[in-house]
Amino acid sequence: MCRLFALTSRDPVSPMRAIDALNVMKEGHDGSGVGLFLSGLGGAFEELKEYPVLSGIFTEPGLARVFEYMSDKGFRSKYSVMFKPDSEPPVGTPKRGTYASIAYKIPSEWGNRTQEEVDCGLVQMRLDLRAMGEEIGGIMVFSFWPDTIMIKEVGDPMAMGEYLQLGRKELYARHIMAQGRQNTNYAIDLYACHPFFMEGISTMTNGENTAFLPIREYLMSRGVTGYQGYQSDSEVFTHIAHFTTKRLGLDISAYKHVITPMSDEEMADHQDREFLSNLKRSCRKLIIDGPNCIIGCLPDGSMFMAQDRKKLRPGVVGGNPELGIYGFSSEICGLNAAIPERDRTKDFQPMHLDTAIVGPDCREVFQCSQKDPLRLQR
C-alpha cells in the first residue's frame, strides 16, 4: 500500500509539510520511497516562470552530457538548484550524484513555433535525455517544464526529506504532491515512482489499475509525443487527464466520465446524455478497473481528487480558506497534521461519482458529481 498527500496554497510552503503528513500516515505505506511534484514555485524560480526547469539526478559525466545536449539545442541555463549530499545515504538508498533543477531560457529560434509545437518540443527533449540516460547511464530526468520541479528517491520519506534537505527555501512551492512508496512489486525503478507528469499535468494514485494494458494500447495509438514509458500502471492516469483536457477540450470535472463512465441507466435522465454516451463509447478503452484514489494538479494550479467506481481507497479534502491552504490526503490524520486549523465539518470525502477540485485561489472545495451538467474548459 502507499499513501498520498498534496497541498495547494496561495503562498509558497515547504515540501516538508507534505513529507510530515506522509510520516503521520506511515502505518499505511511501506516507507520504501518518496516522489515529489512541485509547481507554483517560490524564490528565484518565481521570477523565471516561463523558463522550463530540468529536474533529475545526474552523475558528473551525466551532467556534462546534459549541458552539451542543451547547448546544442540552443538552450542556456539561467538559474539552478543543485544538491550533492555529502553524508552517507540512509540504509537502502543508493548513493547517487547531483539532484538538480535547472531553469533554461528557450532559444529565440523557437519564437516562430506555436505553443503546441513548443510544448511538444520540450516533451521530446525530456524523452531524448531519458533515453540517453537509459543507454549510457548517469542521467535520470523526471520533468522538463516551466514552473515545475520533480524529485524522486528510494527510502523512507522522512529520512529522504532530511537527507536531501527538502526544507530548503529554494524548493518552497504553492502546489505540492507527495507519494510515500516505491514500486516494490517489481524491480525498483525511479521512473515508476509517483507522481507522474505530462505537459503541466501531474497525478499520483493509491491503488491498482488492472485495466492497464488496454489503456496503454489506446494511449500509445494516439500519436501523442510523451504517451510512452509506462514503468507503472498508474502513469496512464496522468496521460488520461492530459487527453481529457488537452485533446478532448473538456474540464477536469469530465475526467470521471472518461475513466469511470456512468451506466446507461444512470445517465438516462442526464441533460448531456447523448454526448456522454458517445464519449463512453469512443473512450471505452480508457475505462479503469480500480481500486484507485487519484490526486492531480493542472497547469493553472487547480488540484483535484477522484475515486474509482468501487471507492475502496480512502481520500479526504479539507483546508482553511482564510489561510489560503488546502490538503488532499489518503487519511484524515495526515490532513490533521498538515492543516490543524480548519473547520473539519467541511472536510469532503469524494464518493464514486464525485470529483473534488480546489482552484489556485484556495478559497473552497468545489464538489462536482457526474450527475451535474457537463462543463467545457474555460
Q: Per-residue pLDDT averaged across 13-37, rounded?
A: 85
- Give per-residue pLDDT as tens, 351-369: 999 999 999 999 999 999 9
Considering the chain, what percentage of its residues have pLDDT values greater than 90?
87
Q: Does residue 174 surpass a pLDDT of 70?
A: yes
Q: Per-residue pLDDT averaged across 226-248, rounded?
A: 95
Query: If pLDDT is split at 50, 70 and 90, which confidence band does 2 have?
Result: confident
CA 82/CA 172 separation, integer angstroms: 15
CB burial class (10 A; 0-12, 13-18, 19+) of residue 100? buried
- Angle subtended by helix axes 115-136 and 60-72, to nearest 10: 150
H or E element at residue 351? none
CA-based torsion, 211, 214, 217, 223: positive or negative: negative
Q: Does residue 78 surpass a pLDDT of 90?
A: yes
Q: Per-residue pLDDT averaged across 193-220, rounded?
A: 94
- Give per-residue pLDDT as tens, 107-157: 999 999 999 999 999 999 999 999 999 999 999 999 999 999 999 999 899
**Beta-ladder partners of 368:** 355
CA 9/CA 236 separation, integer angstroms: 27
Indicate the pTM of the whole model.
Answer: 0.95
**What residue spans of 228-272 are helical by DSSP H?**
235-242, 255-259
CA 312/CA 330 separation, integer angstroms: 12
Q: Are the beta carbons of 59 and 124 closer than 8 angstroms? A: no
Q: Does residue 310 surpass a pLDDT of 90?
A: no
User: If you average pLDDT over every residue of the chain, what do you get?
Assistant: 94
